[in-house]
Amino acid sequence: MRPKPCCLPRLISTLLSLALFAPVSAGAQQLPRSVTVAANPPGTVFYALASGMAKVASEGAPFQIVVQPYTGTSTFLPLLNAGEIDFGVNNAVDMALSYQGPERLKIGGRNPFQHTPNVRLVMRGSVLMVGLLARKDSGIRTIYDVKGKRLTGEYPAQLSNWYNVFAFLATASMTWNDVKIIPVPAVNEGVDALVQGRADVAMHALNSAKIREADAAVGVRHVSLDCSPEGEKRLRSAVPGYYPRWLKPGQALAIVEDTCVNAYDIYLTTHKAAPDKVVNGVLKGIWDNVEKLPPIHPSFREWTRQRAVTPEVTIPYHPAAIQVYKEQRVWSANMDEAQRKLLSLNP
């Protein structure tokens, strides 16, 4: 039956409204022009990793990825939890402490992190190696030589580094009382104190631009931890998630003899409300182009597809990341159980 002439204006109006509504709905699903990945300041390994991932993932994603540096990962974790930034480069121990919160988890009798129950994992990446640093001409070669020396510490902008120093000393059965702490806000400032002669020993992630700068200025070397079987046991007991790595001369900047350093995992993180399409776009951009990462920075050598998924992670994965891993057939029933247990920590 044909519509009555008097009804045609109303019918046309309805059809126009539907036509106008369709683009609005589609627009609501559009991806952002850019997303943010937070990291530590320039000169740090985390900044180099964030920049490398942003470069590679942006090539295959329908949006740009912008690196936003902060004084330290501790300062941006609350923003990541609230969804005010899209992604972050963090370490596994920090994420365990912040995700579970101070009421549930303490290491070394403390947990100064704000509770961040909304953080989620996109990808487990490479191994972060961190070591003590001294001048080459100082005579400080092992952790035992650090006793009584001026050691940079506190690190309020990078809370994880308290745990590093705590564990370093523990490998030699030493405590804070065995050294003279020189307060600094973050690791870059700690290396500055070493170069300027205000400290005898500092710390930094291996292969960082800051170490290269210090080596050019005064000449530096990494200081070996005690990684004997007993020392390794003390390291792992002090901070669960830490493990030793032995390096030979030339394997990293400032490694001038066989040296043992601390190691733990690096994460690419997000928040649980991050849009699936955004997480999918970033993860697939990295996954499909992972071979482009190692030439950017040495720490990308272990940023592999094989390391991306493991039941040993300390925070749950984002659902969009899980979907990608299922498509790639690397997500198992064991991962379902690990995910369930992690989610149960913040019901």
Q: What is the pLDDT, as a whole number, of residue 97?
A: 96
Mean pLDDT value across the chain: 91
Bridge partner residues of 204 (DSSP): 131
Verify that 251 and 299 share a domain, yes or no: no
Q: Cβ neighbours of residue 340 under 8 Å, at least 6 residues apart?
A: none
**143-185: per-residue pLDDT in tens?**
999 999 999 999 999 998 999 999 999 999 999 999 999 999 9
Tell me which residue has tokens 């040993």: 312
Residue 22 has pLDDT above 70, yes or no: no
Distance of CA 111 to the CA centre of its chain: 18
**Is residue 101 domain-shared with residue 46, that is, in the same domain?**
yes
Separation of alpha carbons 245 and 311, rounded Å: 21
Q: What local confidence, expressed as pLDDT, does residue 7 receive?
A: 47
Between 32 and 314, whose confidence is greater? 314
What tens digit of pLDDT does each residue of 179-232 get?
Answer: 999 999 999 999 999 999 999 999 999 999 999 999 999 999 999 999 999 999
CB 105 within 8 Å of CB 113: no
Statement to judge: residues 53 and 113 lie in one domain = yes
Neighbour-count burial for 260-299, b at 16+ CB within 10 Å, e otherwise: bbbbbbbbbbbbeebeebbbbbbbbbbbeebeebbebbbb
Q: Residue 31's Cα: distance from chain center in Å?
A: 25
Q: Are 115 and 50 contained in the same domain?
A: yes
Cα three-residue angle 304-188-255, rounded to 5 degrees: 60
Single out the residue in 264, 286, 320 at which a domain terminates: 264
Q: How many folded domains does the chain comprise?
A: 2
Q: What is the pLDDT of residue 61?
A: 79
SS3 category, 183? strand
91 and 167 together in one domain: no
For residue 21, pLDDT beyond 90: no
Domain limit, last residue, from 264, 288, 309: 264
Q: Enter the pTM of the model.
A: 0.84
Q: How far apart are CA 177 and CA 256, in angstroms?
A: 29
Say if residue 224 is in the same domain as residue 271. no
| % of the chain at pLDDT higher than 90 | 86
- Using CA atoms, how far apart are residues 347 and 339, in angstroms rounded to an integer? 13
pLDDT digits (tens, 9 = 90+) for 54-93: 999 998 778 899 999 999 888 899 999 999 999 999 999 9
Domain range for residue 143?
130-264
Assess whether pLDDT exceeds 50 at residue 240: yes
pLDDT of residue 1: 45
Q: How far apart are CA 65 and CA 102, in angstroms?
A: 32
Q: Encode 324-341: b = buried (16+ Cβ within 10 Å), e = exposed.
A: bbeeeeebeeebeebbee
In CATH, what number is assigned to the domain containing residue 222?
3.40.190.10
What band does 130 get if pLDDT is binned at 50, 70 and 90? very high
Mean pLDDT of 261-275: 97
pLDDT at 30: 75
Domain finish residue from 240, 264, 288: 264
